[in-house]
């Protein structure tokens, strides 16, 4: 985590240029905003000039008619200024909120399209912080620039011109103290940027902690290991640092603002003193001095606001830097320029000399989104033992070197349409990795995978994934209703469609018993359902999608023997005519497969039918004998 240092970091000018380029859709509004500021500033001068005329002419000559006209003019100017101010505010809000929308939309779409490796290395809380806090900070930078910087620059320029017309010597005198405004703002601005950057990183860290500890799994883990006090103390330590930074930032801003106000007060006093002497000597009228006294305030207030705005904008631009950091991160898995839509999928799959190496953390994410202290210690990952549970489909281990990261080595497979293929092997053999390559959650490092003769990289990702249905070992459910979770696979599905899919997955009786049926909320990650119920609901969701290719990552692992038998019957019908890839350790699944692939250390060491592989007496026979001790075939 970076923190403020003795060498303050400035803001890259390229960031400022890019921010301005990002405002392209709002340029007409910005131009209108600037025009309104000019009109508002000119109208704002009318009362001051009218006041000078009242003193020098209307009162001195006893001209009541002129006095009435000037009074009415001031009232009209006030109403006009109020109307312009309202329109300015609307434009400023429209531009600012539009930028928030554009940034969030662009950032969310970019993150959503990132490959799976990005999410395995990135902290969720940090991403949420970028989408919320940093985007709002970026919007604040732009609107502050519009309303404060541009507005005050125009105000300052028009006011100085007016003062020069009235009395150029006093105007020059008022500008003598200008360096006292500009020089300190540069140092304070860069210091505030560093403070803001550290505060944002700490807030992102706290967001990550809350995201991980406040979900059901995290809360359960904290309680079971008796760590609530430790977690609270750690959170309090970071919150205290944010508190201290906030106090320091507030005091630094207040001291700076106070100093600028004092400098402006000294300049104003000089104008009063010297201007008074000029009135006494006859070089300046009393009305002129009164007008200059009011106008000099309109000089020093914008100067103070501008110097303070520089501090604010410099700090807020840190948010743009952090947002652009993610937007600029390249996506290694994208559609080819000439990618075609995959249609009328038959489901023939071919692996041609496929090798795969997991990308390193530096290639998958950016440092500011990953807590280096939580990275896995380099090594070879989980130990391997025959008959052990499989690695979840989302697992992406990190290793120390390129050789150790290589997971698959020259895999060659040919799978015919409609075949049920079981993939078995020791834990860590590369089974889940092999299946992750089919929907392009990762891209192959070498070789190619084809579907119906087309390289996966030559078709669009959407059309590819629309043809594939996946049920993981631990299926994810959104914190929503049963119906919403099912319709995620097919938004146009009717209740009758959902009922048919649920009946095929043998979960309809459970849904009927729920308080609100399909409208019952399943809870975060489906925790209101048992493991078997959640698994069957995931199978129903997959059936509702009606894919040509099905990937089952031990889809019956949470079911008892009776429920497993029902699911097997449902799957026999549901998977008919579909290509099915199944990671399995249940005998009932393996023995019914048309083809069994045996993986070991990333290599296909055996493949064939159940009887053929048993006859070989190799690794499959060892796995089978081991399964006989822990599994009972479904009847």
Q: Is the same domain home to 189 and 69?
A: yes
In this structure, is residue 482 part of a structural domain? no
In this structure, is residue 533 part of a structural domain? no
pLDDT over threshold 70, residue 377: no
What pLDDT, on the 0 to 100 scale, is given for residue 20?
74
Q: Residue 138 is inside which H or E element, if any?
A: helix 135-144
> What is the CATH classification number for the domain harbouring 552?
3.40.50.300
Average pLDDT for 334-354: 89
Strand pairing report for 549-553 and 579-583: parallel
pLDDT tens, position by position, 568-625: 666 676 677 789 898 876 676 788 788 999 999 889 999 888 888 888 888 888 888 8
CA distance 631 to 302: 79
Q: Is the same domain home to 251 and 395?
A: no
Give me the long-range contacts of 615-621 (CB less than 8 A, separation at least 24).
Answer: 619/425, 620/424, 620/596
In this structure, is residue 372 part of a structural domain? no
Q: Is the same domain home to 422 and 293?
A: no
The mean predicted confidence, pLDDT, of the chain is: 77
What pLDDT, on the 0 to 100 scale, is given for residue 359?
82
Q: Is the same domain home to 323 and 403?
A: no
What pLDDT, on the 0 to 100 scale, is given for residue 557?
57
Q: Is the same domain home to 311 and 357?
A: no
> What is the CATH classification number for the domain harbouring 21?
1.20.1560.10
Q: Is the same domain home to 290 and 395?
A: no
Of 4-8, 79-83, 306-310, 569-573, the range with the highest mean pLDDT is: 79-83
Q: Is the same domain home to 354 and 303?
A: no
In this structure, is residue 252 part of a structural domain? yes
Percent residues over pLDDT 90 in the chain: 9
pLDDT tens, position by position, 293-318: 777 777 777 776 676 666 667 666 77
In this structure, is residue 297 part of a structural domain? yes
Total tally of structural domains belonging to the chain:
2
Residue 427 CA neighbour count, 13 Å, CB half: 15
Q: Is the same domain home to 398 and 317?
A: no
Q: What is the DSSP string of 450-494?
A: EETTEEGGGB-HHHHHHTEEEE-SS----SSBHHHHHHTT-TT--
In this structure, is residue 434 part of a structural domain? yes
What is the residue range of 463's domain?
349-361+385-467+547-630
At 423, give phi and psi (nearest 5°): -115, 120
Q: Is the same domain home to 323 and 402?
A: no
Residue 248's closest CA among 188, 319, 321? 188
Residue 35's closest CA among 114, 91, 112? 91
Average pLDDT for 160-185: 72
Q: Is the same domain home to 88 and 182?
A: yes
Strand pairing report for 595-600 and 420-424: parallel
- Angstrom distances, CA of residue 118 to CA of 115, 478, 577: 6, 21, 35
In this structure, is residue 202 part of a structural domain? yes
In this structure, is residue 197 part of a structural domain? yes
Q: Is the same domain home to 53 and 180?
A: yes
Q: Given pLDDT bands bounded at 50, 70 and 90, which one contains residue 79?
A: very high
Q: Is the same domain home to 307 and 400?
A: no
């Amino acid at each position: 985590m970076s923190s403020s240092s003795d060498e303050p970091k400035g803001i890259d000018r390229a960031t400022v240029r890019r921010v301005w380029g990002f405002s392209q859709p709002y340029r007409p509004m910005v131009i209108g905003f600037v025009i309104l500021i000019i009109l508002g500033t000119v109208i704002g001068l009318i009362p001051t000039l009218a006041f000078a005329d009242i003193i020098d002419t209307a009162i001195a000559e006893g001209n009541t008619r002129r006095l009435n006209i000037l009074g009415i003019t001031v009232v009209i100017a006030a109403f006009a200024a109020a109307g312009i101010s309202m329109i300015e505010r609307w434009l400023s809000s429209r531009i600012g909120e539009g930028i928030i929308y554009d940034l969030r939309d662009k950032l969310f779409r970019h993150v959503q399209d990132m490959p799976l490796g990005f999410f395995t290395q990135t902290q969720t809380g940090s991403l949420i912080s970028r989408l919320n806090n940093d985007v709002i900070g970026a919007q604040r930078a732009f609107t502050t620039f519009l309303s404060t910087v541009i507005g005050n620059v125009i105000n300052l320029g028009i006011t100085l011109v007016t003062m020069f017309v009235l009395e150029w010597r006093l105007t020059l005198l008022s500008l003598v103290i200008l360096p006292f405004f500009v020089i300190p703002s540069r140092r304070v601005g860069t210091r505030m940027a560093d403070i803001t950057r550290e505060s944002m990183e700490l807030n992102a860290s706290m967001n990550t902690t809350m995201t991980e500890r406040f979900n059901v799994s995290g809360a359960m883990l904290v309680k079971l290991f008796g760590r609530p006090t430790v977690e609270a103390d750690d959170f309090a330590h970071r919150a205290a640092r944010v508190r201290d930074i906030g106090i320091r930032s507030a005091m630094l801003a207040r001291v700076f603002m106070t100093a600028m106000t004092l400098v402006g007060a000294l300049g104003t006093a000089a104008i009063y003193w010297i201007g008074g002497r000029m009135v006494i000597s006859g070089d300046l009228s009393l009305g002129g001095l009164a007008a200059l006294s009011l106008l000099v305030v309109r000089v020093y207030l914008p100067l103070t606001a501008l110097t303070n705005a520089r501090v604010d904008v410099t700090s807020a631009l840190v948010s743009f830097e952090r947002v652009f950091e993610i937007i600029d991160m390249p996506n290694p898995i994208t559609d080819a320029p000439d990618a075609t839509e995959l249609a009328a999928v038959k489901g023939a799959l071919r692996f041609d000399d496929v090798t795969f190496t997991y990308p390193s953390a530096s290639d998958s994410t950016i440092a500011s989104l990953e807590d280096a202290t939580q990275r896995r210690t380099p090594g070879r990952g989980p130990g391997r033992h025959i008959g052990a549970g499989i690695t979840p489909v989302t697992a992406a281990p990190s290793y120390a070197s390129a050789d150790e990261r290589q997971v698959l080595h020259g895999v060659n497979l040919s799978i015919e349409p409609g075949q049920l293929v079981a993939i078995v092997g020791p834990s860590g053999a590369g089974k889940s990795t092999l299946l992750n390559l089919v929907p392009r959650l990762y891209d192959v490092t070498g070789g190619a995978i084809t579907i119906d003769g087309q390289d996966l990289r030559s078709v669009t990702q959407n059309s590819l994934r629309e043809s594939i249905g996946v049920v993981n070992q631990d299926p994810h459910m959104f914190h929503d209703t049963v119906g919403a979770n099912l319709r995620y696979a097919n938004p146009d599905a009717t209740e009758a469609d959902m009922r048919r899919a649920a009946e095929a997955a043998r979960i309809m009786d459970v849904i009927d018993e729920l308080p609100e049926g399909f409208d019952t909320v399943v809870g975060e990650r489906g925790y209101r359902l048992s493991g078997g119920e959640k698994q069957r609901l995931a199978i129903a969701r997959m059936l509702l999608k009606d894919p040509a290719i099905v990937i089952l990552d031990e889809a019956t692992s949470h079911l008892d023997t009776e429920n497993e038998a029902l699911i097997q019957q449902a799957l026999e019908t549901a998977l008919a005519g579909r290509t099915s890839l199944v990671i399995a350790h249940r005998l009932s699944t393996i023995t019914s497969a048309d083809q069994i692939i045996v993986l070991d250390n990333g290599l296909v060491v055996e493949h064939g039918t159940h009887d053929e592989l048993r006859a070989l007496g190799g690794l499959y026979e060892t796995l089978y004998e081991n399964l006989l001790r822990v599994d009972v075939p479904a009847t």
